[in-house]
Amino acid sequence: MPASLRGAIIEHLRRFAPFDRMEREHLAYFVQRLELAYYPKGEVILSPEQGPVARFSVIRQGVVLGEQGVAQAQHECAWLELHEGECFPLGALLSKRGVTSTYRAGVDTFLYELPAADFLELIHLSPAFQDFCTRRIASLLEQSKQAIQAQYAHSSSGQQSMSSPLSSIVRRSPVTCQPDTPVREVLIAMHKLGIGSMVATEAGRPVGIFTLHDVLKRVALPKIDLDVPIIDIMSTTLTSLPPSAPAYEAALVMTRHGFRHILVTDDDKLVGVVSEKDLFSLQRVGLRQISAAIRSAANLDTLKQAAGDIRQLAHNMLAQGVAAEQLTQFISTLNDLLTERIIELERTAAGTEDDPLWQGGLCWLALGSEGRFEQTLNTDQDNGLIFVTPAGMTADQARTRLLPVARRINEALDACGFPLCKGDVMASNPHWCLSQEEWQARFAEWIDHGDPDSLLNATIFFDFRPLYGNASLATGLRNWLTEKVAATPRFLHQMAASALRNRPPLGLVRDFVVGEGNQLNLKLNGITPFVDAARIYAFAAGATSTSTVQRLRQAAAGLNIAAGEIEAWVEALHFIQLLRLRCQHEESTAGKTMDNLLDPDRLNDLDRRILKEAFRQARKLQTRLAMDYKL
């Protein structure tokens, strides 16, 4: 091959991953050994009948379709479409086996082909090539993350990531004392060392913590004898995390419980203390301040301000490179705190302090994306109420007392930036303010009938979780529902058939199938296929989590799904969610109404490539679902 042609091929390959990260000498190794092959439209390139794969292929020009079963792949049914610069079949080559699908030329196609032995040698030679081939979507996502971090470098320079392990956050060895140390000595030591906490330990194990915040309420106001043992006034209900835990986990614990310090323990031995200052002053995010403001809010105006602060915080964290999974958890956690405080204020204003319904007899339910801990920057309300009917009262009578308060709560949430649900899926709707028995009857009706409306309701209401009140009511309903669905395989089959009607928007002539205005709906066509499949698999496996990611991971073992396959789905879901958050962030910054729509032509080449791969993972998940339910 002439040197000029080799150089042209190298430059062509450098436009695509992983070749854009490979050393030139490794690209030269590839080019010197490749052959150019031509396949006319419709010709089979690879099939299971051919046995172990003999060559690695990269598309120079054309389209390759992947098909399952005996029917020739068409645009509407192919589970895989590959375009210029994309390579295949990595899994079969790495495991030295045949392909499990048939690869066929969708149009007249030219391929660069490398013998399998040279492919395996190239993996040993090139770390970049090896990383891509063994961790395909994860490798692409890391490239995108690096690009995002570079884009926001001016706002996050020098800051640690919220994904950093706590071991990297701990600033010093922990300062400790014995449980019987007098309070006076502890206070003197804290003042002298300029520290905000003291941990009492026994044989290296923490047994209590005392902080400067405790001085007023535990020392000054009670006027205690300063010679009493410090353990007498310490907090002894301790929360700890291992050194490997990411910083965002500590931040979530602090936010949920109002803590200012988290103990870091290794094998039950104290190795450090992480404070809110350690976590958040470096990040320049006011997570702790927002949660404290919410807890102490005395009126709706204060909560309106806090709601705006939550959105601004989410913007800041997105700019700092916080991952989509952690960011949606932060948003959901703070929105939970806000909702809880609104409920407390509105029920007090309605004079419900002595009402037995509000004293352990009900539970406010989060539904939909909030129920899955997957809220984004643009979200409306989806909620309901479950209650225990008091003795001597009918369910209708109890509902009549609850609905006016629920309406106040829904309207207060609306005032804080959570619009009223257009479908009226709210606790103030008598259809969704039900007793335990009524919820079970309603769910049983949907499961037994399985009509389109029932299946649609299942996608919203079956993702419920407790947010405020007696959580055992929601837990009991969850356990009942899990058993009921698992015992009704026909309903799972109907759910699967319904889920498969929403296909990922992969195109044949173009990369994506777009709607009006050249837009993709990242929620409906990107996130929902993962959410729907995870819900089905969770019920089939008896898993009770409502988080999509946890549902997939919990279902893996019971359904014999390989961990690598699960993680590829999870990575794909997270990328689409991150892209959705980024779009909403940009819309908000520009003063536009936030939505879930994306013009794919605005994406750079890398993100466009990853989005295609993410949609392919959604299609693979649906292919698995179709095979499992024989659809």
Residue 20 in this model has a pLDDT that exceeds 90: no
Tell me the domains of the chain and their CATH numbers.
3-134 (2.60.120.10), 166-283 (3.10.580.10)
- Distance separating alpha carbons of residues 372 and 549, to the nearest angstrom: 9
DSSP states of 544-572: ---SHHHHHHHHHHHTT--HHHHHHHHHH
Give the confidence band of 72 by pLDDT, cuts at 50, 70, 90.
very low
Residue 148 in this model has a pLDDT that exceeds 80: no
Instruction: Name the pairing type of β-strands 197-202 and 102-105.
Output: unpaired
Q: Which residue has the higher pLDDT, 560 or 110?
A: 110
Put simply, whether the predicted model's pTM sits higher than 0.75 gets the answer: no
Q: Distances in Å between the alpha carbon of 230 and those of 192, 211, 275?
A: 17, 11, 20
Give the confidence band of 603 by pLDDT, cuts at 50, 70, 90.
confident
Cβ pair 546, 464 in contact under 8 A: yes
- Distance separating alpha carbons of residues 486 and 422, to the nearest angstrom: 31
Residues 300-330: tens digit of each pLDDT: 988 988 888 888 788 777 766 677 788 888 8
* Placement of tokens 């020098």 in the chain: 158
Q: What is the rounded average pLDDT for all residues in the chain?
A: 86
Residues 377-409: tens digit of each pLDDT: 878 899 999 999 988 899 999 999 999 999 999
Residues in CB range of 397: below 8 A, 6 or more apart: none
284-298 average pLDDT score: 77
* Placement of tokens 């015992």 in the chain: 487
Residue length of the chain:
631
Buried b (16+ CB within 10 A) or exposed e, 277-289: ebbbebbebbbbe
- Distance separating alpha carbons of residues 177 and 175, to the nearest angstrom: 7
- Residue 360 has a pLDDT of 80
Residues in CB range of 297: below 8 A, 6 or more apart: 303, 306, 341, 345
What does the block give as tokens for 489?
């395989």
Residue 574 in this model has a pLDDT that exceeds 70: yes
Residue 46 in this model has a pLDDT that exceeds 90: yes
- Residue 506 has a pLDDT of 83
Residue 49 in this model has a pLDDT that exceeds 60: yes
In angstroms and rounded to an integer, the radius of gyration of the C-alpha atoms of the chain is: 28
Q: Which amino acid is at 495?
A: M
Q: Which amino acid is at 526?
A: G
Residue 13 in this model has a pLDDT that exceeds 50: yes
- Distance separating alpha carbons of residues 432 and 420, to the nearest angstrom: 14
Residues 474-532: tens digit of each pLDDT: 999 999 999 999 899 999 999 999 999 999 988 755 678 888 888 999 999 999 999 99
Helices (H) and strands (E) in the chain, counts: 25, 20
3 state SS for 282-340: HHCCCHHHHHHHHHHCCCHHHHHHHHHHHHHHHHHHHHCCCCHHHHHHHHHHHHHHHHH
- Distance separating alpha carbons of residues 418 and 411, to the nearest angstrom: 9
